[in-house]
Amino acid sequence: MPPMGTLVIRTWYEPDQVSGFRARVMYGQGPDGEANTAATADPDEVLSIVREWLSAQPGSSGG
Protein backbone atom coordinates (compact mmCIF):
# COMPACT_ATOMS: atom_id res chain seq x y z
CA MET A 1 0.00 0.00 0.00
CA PRO A 2 1.44 3.42 -0.90
CA PRO A 3 2.14 5.91 1.90
CA MET A 4 -0.78 8.14 2.74
CA GLY A 5 -1.34 11.31 4.67
CA THR A 6 -4.42 13.03 5.99
CA LEU A 7 -5.14 16.71 6.47
CA VAL A 8 -8.45 18.07 7.76
CA ILE A 9 -9.31 21.75 8.03
CA ARG A 10 -12.24 22.74 10.22
CA THR A 11 -13.36 26.38 10.13
CA TRP A 12 -16.01 28.33 11.97
CA TYR A 13 -17.06 31.87 12.70
CA GLU A 14 -16.75 33.39 16.18
CA PRO A 15 -18.49 36.77 16.27
CA ASP A 16 -16.89 37.71 19.62
CA GLN A 17 -13.36 37.48 18.19
CA VAL A 18 -11.58 40.32 16.37
CA SER A 19 -11.12 38.43 13.09
CA GLY A 20 -14.20 36.23 13.50
CA PHE A 21 -12.39 33.47 11.59
CA ARG A 22 -11.13 30.38 13.43
CA ALA A 23 -9.61 27.20 12.06
CA ARG A 24 -8.28 23.93 13.38
CA VAL A 25 -5.94 21.94 11.13
CA MET A 26 -5.36 18.27 11.93
CA TYR A 27 -2.76 16.42 9.90
CA GLY A 28 -0.49 13.38 9.88
CA GLN A 29 1.39 10.89 7.75
CA GLY A 30 0.02 7.36 7.47
CA PRO A 31 -2.11 5.36 9.89
CA ASP A 32 0.75 4.95 12.39
CA GLY A 33 2.05 8.52 12.10
CA GLU A 34 1.80 11.07 14.85
CA ALA A 35 -1.21 13.36 14.54
CA ASN A 36 -0.59 17.10 14.72
CA THR A 37 -3.10 19.84 15.44
CA ALA A 38 -2.85 23.59 14.95
CA ALA A 39 -5.44 26.24 15.79
CA THR A 40 -5.35 29.74 14.35
CA ALA A 41 -7.33 32.86 13.53
CA ASP A 42 -5.05 33.64 10.56
CA PRO A 43 -6.02 32.32 7.10
CA ASP A 44 -2.41 32.77 5.91
CA GLU A 45 -1.23 30.44 8.68
CA VAL A 46 -3.72 27.79 7.50
CA LEU A 47 -2.32 28.07 3.97
CA SER A 48 1.25 27.86 5.27
CA ILE A 49 0.47 24.66 7.20
CA VAL A 50 -1.14 23.14 4.11
CA ARG A 51 1.85 24.08 1.93
CA GLU A 52 4.31 22.55 4.41
CA TRP A 53 2.22 19.38 4.69
CA LEU A 54 1.94 19.03 0.90
CA SER A 55 5.67 19.57 0.39
CA ALA A 56 6.39 16.74 2.87
CA GLN A 57 4.24 14.25 0.92
CA PRO A 58 6.12 11.43 -0.83
CA GLY A 59 6.58 12.26 -4.49
CA SER A 60 6.20 16.00 -4.05
CA SER A 61 8.97 18.32 -5.20
CA GLY A 62 9.58 19.26 -1.53
CA GLY A 63 9.49 15.74 -0.02
**Tens of pLDDT, residues 47-60:** 999 999 998 887 77
pLDDT at 51: 95
CA distance 14 to 1: 41
Contacts 24+ apart (CB under 8 A), 9-13: 9/46, 9/50
Question: Rounded to the nearest 10 degrees, how much is the dihedral formed by the CA atoms of 26, 41, 60, 7?
Answer: 20
Higher pLDDT, 31 or 63: 31
Give the global pTM.
0.78
pLDDT at 60: 74
pLDDT at 28: 87
* Residue ranges of domains in the chain: 5-55
pLDDT digits (tens, 9 = 90+) for 3-38: 678 999 999 998 877 778 899 999 987 777 788 999
